[in-house]
Structure 1
C-alpha cells in the first residue's frame, strides 16, 4: 500500500519535477478568457517577456483583467502565499510544518481583514471585488499549475480576506527577526549591554542571528523573503537631470528566489494610467509611475510592534481558542491560541525562540484596520507630490520611506506609516503590560500626516536605503524604531548622486549596480594598519593594500577582508558574551555591530592581547585566503525555485544553478551574507529594478531576477536572469501608440 501511495505521489509530481517547455505564445493562448465577466471589451497586450499591459473602458474591468493576469501568471505562487498567510503549510508539507503553522496562526495575518473590509470606501470595495473575481476565474478555469500535484493542492477560490492576509504578510514587521534573535538571551549575564549596543548599532533585523533549526529557518525565510524588508530608492530633481525631467530609481531587496515576488504590469482605464511592479495577488502598484508622478519606497524598519510581558496579567484578560491544522497524509492536529489586550501570546509557539517560562504577547499595527489598498490605489492616480502623500493618510504596514518624482520637476520624501507615539527607546525589548507608561504609546498612534516630509531639497537629490530615519524638511522624526541598516548604502548612494552635476537614466541604472562599500574600504585599511608587522598577516595586508571597498566579482581583496572578519569578530566577543566566540550567527556578526564596535573593541584590549588576537585571526584567515580565488567564485547568486527547500526533492529538481556575483551586505547592489570563509550563496538582496524619466512617458524600465511567468517550464519563467546579470532592462511605456508597437500580442476579453 505504501509503495502504491509513493508511486501515486511521484506520478502526480511529474509535471513539476520534469516540466514541459512552454512557449510564450502558448502560455498567452492558455489564458482562460471564456466566461470572463467584463462589462466592456478589454485588451490585454503582451511583450516578449510576458509583461501584460491592460487597456479597459471601465475601472472595474481593468481590475478584473489584472486579477485574471495575476491568476494566470502566478496562480501557484498566490496559492502558496495564502498557505503561509493563513497558517496552512501543513496541508502541503505534512507534520513537518505543524509547529510552523501554529506560529503563523498565532501571528494571524488575516486578523484585521473583516475590520479592514468593513471600513473600505465603496470604490475600493468594488475594485477589490472585481480583482478577486478575475483572479478566481483564472485559478478555477485555467490549467492547474504543475506544483499542485507535487504539493497535494487542489483548486480553491480566493476570498478578499485571503488577499488582505497576503497583504499583511507582505507588510510584516521586519523587527520581529531582531526580537526573536534577542529573546533567548534576555536575563543572561551581559544582556543589558548587548541590548544597549544593539540599539546603538541599529542592528539590521533581516540579518538578525536567529538560533539554528530547520523549522525556525523556514520562519526566517517567510518573514525576510515575503515582507517588503529592504530597498534602495533615489530621485533626482529636473534641475539635476540631463534629460530635463526628474528621475527616479528603485531596487527592492527581498528573497532571491523564483518566482519573483514582483510582477510588472501596465494599465489604462478612465481613472488609472500607470506602469509598475505589483505584488502577486494584490491589486495595486507598489513601485511605478503614472503620467504625473513616479514613486518608490524603502522599508523604514520602523517598529510597528511591541512585545509585552503578560505573565502578570489576571487570567480573565486571556482568551483562548483551538485551531485545527490539517496535515497532509496524516491526521489533523489541534493547537491553542491565546489572545490578550496586548496581542497574541507568541511564546506559545514551540518553534519560536524564547526563554523557558516567558509569556510574551505581540502587539502589531498589522492587527489594526489600517488601509494600504485604498492608499496605494489613490497613489497610482495622484497628479502631484502633494496628492501622492495625502493618499497615505490611512496607510499602516509595512512602514515605508516613500520617495516621489513629479512631471513638474520636483522630488519629495515622506514617512508612510501608522505607529505608536514612542517618546524614548525602552531599556528592554519586552515591556511590562502592567505599566501604563509602556502601553500609553498605543493610545497615541501617529500617521503619515503627523510625520516629517520634504519637497525639493536644496541639493536636488534624495536617497533612502533602510537607514536610520533622518530629519526631513527641518523636522526630526520621533522614535520610529530600533533596528536599521548601516548607513553604508545611503552614504554610497549620496556619493554617487553628488559625483556629477546632471544625471541620465543610465547613470541611475549604474548606481543600482554599484558594488562598493565605503565603510568596508575604511575598515580594511584600519585593520591592515593594525596588522602591520605581524608576519602571519602579510598575505592579508598585501591583498587589502589600496582596496576601496569595491566588492567586484573579479576582485580578490573582498575575499581577504571577509575571511579576516570571519576569524576576528568571534575572538572579539565581549567577556560576558562568551558564547559568541563559537557562534558565527551571534548578533556581533552583523555588519552594524562590526562597523560600530570592531575597532573600538580591538583598541580597548591591552597591546599584548590585541596583538595575540590579530595574530591568531590572521593565521587562520591567511590559510582560508590561500584556498580561495576571487569574490565572485566565493560569493554566489543562486537560481532556484521556492520549492528548493522541499526535503529530498528540492535540491535535485528546483536548484537551477548559481552565478558569480558582486556586491555585499550594504553595497547599493545588495547581495547579503554573514561571516563567510568558503564558497557560499546569497539569499537576500537586489531582486528587481525600476528607473523612470519623467520627461518622457515611455521612459520606464524594469527588470526582475527571474521572469514574469511563474509557470514551471515557461519561456518567461527565467528569461530575465541574463538581463539582470548583464544590467539590461525592459521598457514598459505609457503612450498607447508605443504600447501597441512594443506589446504586439493581444488577448481580448468580450462582454457576455
Structure 2
C-alpha cells in the first residue's frame, strides 16, 4: 500500500511538472513599470457612449470619472480585467468547480465537492428578479471585464495554469459572489460528519458549543485543500469601529474597518475611486464583482465584519424516497488526463453533500446542505443601493435583500449618526440542536424555518449608542444585542471586540491616527489572564515554579504580541507543549488550538487533573519548552509574515513565488490579527488583517486605505507588492472625494473614448 501511495505521488508530481512547462513566463516574470502597465490597457473598440477619464496615482489605483452609470460600469470592468484578470479567472475556476482543468486528477474530488455546492445555483433566479438598473450595471461591468480579458495582454499565469481567454457571464459573476459568501461553519460541519455516533462525540460536541467555536480537523487531504480554498477566499474575519462625533476630535463621525482574509498576493480586494451621475465614492472591491464592499461616499462611510452566522443547516435525507431527489451527472475535465464523471444529487433540502468523497459520513447516510446562498437573494442590488445611500437610514435599509456572507455592517454618517445592521438571510429558527448538528428532513419543525427566513429587517440593529462607540469583531451578538434570535453556533472570542472598545473609550477624543493605531494593536487581554493563571499554578507546586529564568518575562505580561516581545514567545511555546497533554482520553479533540477553546478549557482542564498529574503535566511542558525558547529571542523571530503570490501553493516550484518574509506582531485574536496554531518553531502567517480603511466624515478627502500587497495582480508589476511597506509602516493611501484633490493626487491620466 505504501509503495502504491508513493507511485501515485510521483505520478501526480510528474503531471504537475509537465503542466507547468508552458508557463515559464510566470516563473521568471519581466519587471514592468507603472507607465508600461497603463500603456497596456486595451483602449480600442470600447463600447462607451461618452469619453471616460481614469486618473491613476503612483500605486496604480484608479479614480474613474464617467458621464453615465453605464460607462462607469464598463470602465470598472475594464480596470478589473486589466489589473486582476488572472485572479478573476481563477476565482471562476473555483466557483465553477473546474480546478482539475488546472491541476489534473489531483483536483477531481475537490471539483466534485464544488459542483455539489454549486455556487451558481441561484444565478438564474437572481438574474430574473434583478431591477433594470442592476441588470444594466452588471451587464456593462461584464462587457468591460470581457474587453480587457479578450483583448488585453495575456497574464503570465495563463500558460502555467493552462488557462485560455474565456469570456465571463453575469452568472459567473454571481457564482464568484456566492463563493466569497461561503458559510464559515461548513468546515466544522464537514469534519464532524464521520464522527457522529462514535464514542465521545456527544462530549466533544458539547465542548464545541460551550467554547462557541467549531473545530476543523480535516478527514483527508482533499478536505484540507477544500477548507483552505474556502477559508482563504471567503470573508470570514474582520474588525470595524464606528465613532460618534462626541468622541471625535474633528467633531464628526469616523469609521475604521480592516477585513481579515487569506494573506496571499494579489490581495482579495482592490482599491477604486469613482464618480458618475449616481455614484460618487471610494473603497474596496472584490476583483470580478461590481460592488464596493467597504468604503465611503460624501454622506456615509461603512465597513463590516463576518457575522459568523449559521447560514446553513445539515439535513439527514436518508429516509426521503429516491424520487424526492434529482439525480444528474457532471463531467469534470482533467488536465493531461481523461474527463471524469461524477454524480450530483439534490434533495428538497439542498444538495447531497455526503456524495462528495472529501466529506465522508457514516455508511448509508445521505446528508444534504441547506444554504442561504442557494436562495435567490440579491447582494449586488443591496450593495449598489448602499453605495448611493445619502444617510445612515438609507444605508441600513439597503440590506433587506442581502443574504451571504452574513455581515455586521457598521456605518458612520455625515449627519453624525453611527449604527450597525445585521445583513443576512437566516432561517427563523427557534433554537439549535444540542445533541447533533444534523436535522431530520422528515421533521416539519426542522424544515419550517427555511420557509419564512429572517433578513436585515428582522435581525438585531443598533444605532447611536450613548457611549458613542460601536465595535465589531465577529463576536456573539449576545454581547451587544438584547435577546438576539438564534444566529449561530460559533463566534470569535470576545477578546478582540473588548480590546477595540477599550481603546476607543480610553481617550475622550479620537483622531484618524488613533483609529489607525487601533488596527495595528497587538494586545490579547485574555492571553495575559491565561499566562497569569499558568504562573499561579506553577508557583503553587511544591518547590515553586521550575525554570524561573524562562518564566520571568510572563510576570506582569499584558498580553502584547509585539514582534519584539519575549513573553509572547515563551507563552506560546509553553502552550504548544501543554495543550496536547490535556487531550481527553480516548483520542478526543480536547482543548483545541483555537483561542475559544484555550480561553474556555485550558485552566479548567488543568484544575480537573489530580494534583500529581497536574504537576507532572506542567513541569513537562515547561521543561520541553525551555530548549525551544532558548533558540529564539522574540515572538517575531518565529512568527513570520510571508509576502507571496498564490502560486506559492504549486508543488516543487512554489517557493519561486515568495517575495519576502518578515517578523510580524499579533496573534489569533489580537486586533491586528495574524492567525497561527500551536507554536513549535518558526511558522508563517497565512490569515489575518490584509486591508485597512479609516474615514473621518469631517472631510470628504479624509479617507485612507492600504492593501497588504498592491493594486496590480500582474506578476512583475511595480504595483504588485508596493503597498507592503505602507502596510508594515502603518501608513495609508489617501482616497479623496473632492475633484480638485483627485486631480492633484492622481496625476496620470487615461482617457477612454468610444
- TM-score relative to the length of structure 1: 0.96
Q: Give 4+ residue runs of structure 1 displaced > 4 Å after superposition.
A: 4-11
Deviation at 1:293, TM superposition (A): 0.3
Query: How far apart, in 2, do the equivalents of 1:429 and 1:415 lie?
Result: 24
- Give the deviation of 1:345 after TM superposition: 0.9
Aligned residue number for residue 38 of structure 1: 48
Q: Secondary structure at the match of 1:266?
A: strand
- 2:564 is aligned to 554
Match of 2:128 in 1: 118
Partner of 1:710: 713
State whether residues 109 and 165 of structure 1, in contact with CA within 8 Å, keep that contact through their aligned partners in structure 2. Answer: yes
The match for 1:564 is 574
Shift of 1:146: 0.4
Please state if 1:437 is matched with 2:437: no
State the 1:723 CA deviation: 0.9
For 1:701, which of 694, 704, 713 is the aligned residue?
704
- TM-superposed deviation, 1:409: 1.2
Instruction: Give the distance between the partners of 2:495 and 2:547, measured in 1 at CA.
Output: 26
Q: Supply the distance in 1 between the matched residues of 2:52 and 2:86 (Cα, whole angstroms).
A: 25
Instruction: Please give the secondary structure, in 1, of the residue aligned with 2:580.
Output: helix
Pick from 664, 669, 672 the counterpart of residue 669 of structure 1: 672
User: 1:358 Cα deviation (Å)?
Assistant: 3.4
Distance 1:40 1:457, change over 3 A: same
Query: Structure 1 residues 5 and 313, CA, compared in 2 at 3 Å: closer, same or farther?
Result: closer
Distance 2:221 2:551 in 1: 38
SS at match of 2:258: strand
Q: Output one character per residue of 1:655-681: Cα deviation in whole Å (capped at 9) or x when no partner.
A: 222110000000000000111111101
1:469 matched residue in structure 2: 477
**Is the CA contact (8 Å cut-off) linking 1:638 and 1:658 kept in structure 2?**
yes
Q: Retained in 2: the 8 A contact 1:531–1:537?
A: no
Equivalence for 1:495: 502
CA contact (8 A) 1:452 1:471 kept: no
Structure 2 residue 720 is the aligned partner of structure 1 residue 720: no
Contact 1:304–1:399 under 8 Å retained in 2: yes
Q: Which moved more, 1:319-328 or 1:11-20?
A: 11-20
2:608 is the counterpart of 1:604: yes
Q: Is the 8 A contact 1:701 1:731 kept in 2?
A: yes
Q: Deviations over 1:84-103 (max 9, x none)?
A: 00000111111111111001
Instruction: Quote the residue 2:285 is aligned against.
Output: 278
Structure 2 distance, partners of 1:579, 1:628, is 32
Q: For residues 558-597 of structure 1, what are the structure 2 equivalents within 5 Å?
A: 558-576=568-586, 578-580=587-589, 588-597=592-601
Q: Report if the CA contact (8 A) 1:211-1:353 is conserved.
A: no
Provide the secondary structure at the position in 1 that maps to 2:400.
Answer: coil
Aligned partner of 1:413 in structure 2 is 420
- Count of matched residue positions in the alignment of Structure 1 and Structure 2: 738
Q: Do the aligned partners of 2:191 and 2:359 also contact (CA within 8 Å) in 1?
A: no
Question: How far apart in 1 are the matches of 2:73 and 2:316?
Answer: 44
Q: Do structure 1's residue 131 and structure 2's residue 138 form an aligned pair?
A: no
Partner residue in 2 for 1:61: 71
1:25 and 2:28 equivalent? no
Tell me how far 1:150 sits from its aligned partner: 0.7
Q: CA deviation at 1:181?
A: 2.8
Q: Does 1:510 align with 2:514?
A: no
Q: How does 1:145-224 map to 2 (within 5 A)?
A: 145-203=155-213, 205=214, 208-211=215-218, 213-224=220-231
| Alpha-carbon separation, structure 1, partners of 2:722 and 2:660 | 14
Q: Does the 8 Å contact 1:471/1:477 carry over to 2?
A: no
Gaps of 5+ in 2: 1-10
Q: Give deviations 1:486-518, integer Å, cap 9, x for gaps.
A: 001001001101110110000000000000000
1:347 corresponding residue in structure 2: 354
Who is 1:459 aligned against? 467
Alpha-carbon separation, structure 2, partners of 1:311 and 1:620: 49
Whether the 8 Å contact between 2:15 and 2:104 is mirrored in structure 1 is no
Q: Quote how far apart the aligned CAs of 1:215 are.
A: 2.5
Indicate how the Cα distance of structure 1 residues 438 and 7 shifts in structure 2: closer, same or farther if over 3 A, else same.
closer
Q: Cα offset for 1:616?
A: 1.8
Partner of 2:625: 621
Cα deviation 1:62-94 (Å, max 9, x = unaligned) = 010000000000000000000000000111111
Pair 1:624–1:490, CA change in 2 (3 A): same
1:738 is aligned to 2:745: no
Q: 2 CA distance for matches of 1:683 and 1:539?
A: 32
2:646 to 622, 642, 645: 642
- Judging changes above 3 Å, is the alpha-carbon distance between structure 1 residues 556 and 354 closer, same or farther for their aligned structure 2 residues? farther
Q: Aligned to 2:401, what secondary structure does the other structure show?
A: coil
Contact 1:48-1:743 at 8 Å conserved across structures: yes
TM-score normalised by the chain length of structure 2: 0.96
Residue 99, structure 1, aligned to residue 102, structure 2? no
String of CA shifts for 1:219-266, please: whole Å, max 9, x gaps.
112111111100000010111100111110000000000110000000
Q: Secondary structure at the match of 2:238?
A: strand
Question: Deviation at 1:8?
Answer: 8.5
Residue 315 of structure 2: SS of its match in structure 1?
A: strand
Note if contact 1:534-1:615 (Cα within 8 Å) is conserved in structure 2. Answer: no
CA distance in structure 1 between the aligned counterparts of 2:697 and 2:678, rounded to whole angstroms:
41
CA positional deviation for 1:9: 5.8
Name the structure 1 match of 2:8.
none
Cα RMSD between the aligned structures? 1.7
2:246 and 2:468 in contact (8 A); partners too: yes
How many angstroms does 1:125 deviate by? 0.4
- State the SS of the aligned residue for 2:337: coil
CA–CA separation in structure 2 for the residues paired with 1:125 and 1:5: 42
- Are positions 1:52 and 2:55 aligned together? no
1:318 and 2:300 matched: no
Contact kept, 8 Å, 2:16 with 2:651, in 1: the verdict is: no
Residues 516 and 663, structure 1, Cα contact 8 Å, conserved in 2: yes
Partner of 1:301: 308
C-alpha contact (below 8 Å) 1:271/1:381 kept by paired residues: yes
Matches of 1:623 and 1:579, distance apart in 2: 29
Separation (CA, whole Å) in 2 of partners of 1:198 and 1:134:
47
| Structure 1 residue 353 displacement after superposition | 4.1
**Pair 1:739–1:218, CA change in 2 (3 A):** same
Work out whether residues 231 and 465 of structure 1, in 8 Å CA contact, stay in contact via their aligned partners in 2: yes
Q: How far apart, in 1, do the equivalents of 2:346 and 2:233 lie? A: 25
Q: Quick one: structure 1 residues 552 and 431, their matched pair in 2 at CA, closer, same or farther if it must change by over 3 Å?
A: same
Question: What are the superposed Cα offsets for residues 280-303 of structure 1, whole Å, 9 maximum, x if unpaired?
Answer: 000010000100000001000000
Give the structure 2 partner of residue 80 of structure 1.
Answer: 90
Distance in 2 (alpha carbons) for counterparts of 1:148 and 1:163: 20
SS in 1 for 2:454: strand
Contact 1:292 1:407 in 2 (8 A): yes
Change (3 A) 1:318 1:555: same
Q: Given the superposition, is the C-alpha separation of residues 322 and 454 from structure 1 closer, same or farther in structure 2, using an over 3 Å criterion?
A: same
CA positional deviation for 1:629: 2.2
| Structure 1 counterpart SS, 2:577 | helix
Distance 1:471 1:601, change over 3 A: closer
Aligned to 1:583: none
Instruction: Work out whether 1:109 is the aligned partner of 2:119.
Output: yes
Between stretches 231-240 and 11-20, larger displacement belongs to 11-20
From 245, 249, 268, the equivalent of 2:252 is 245
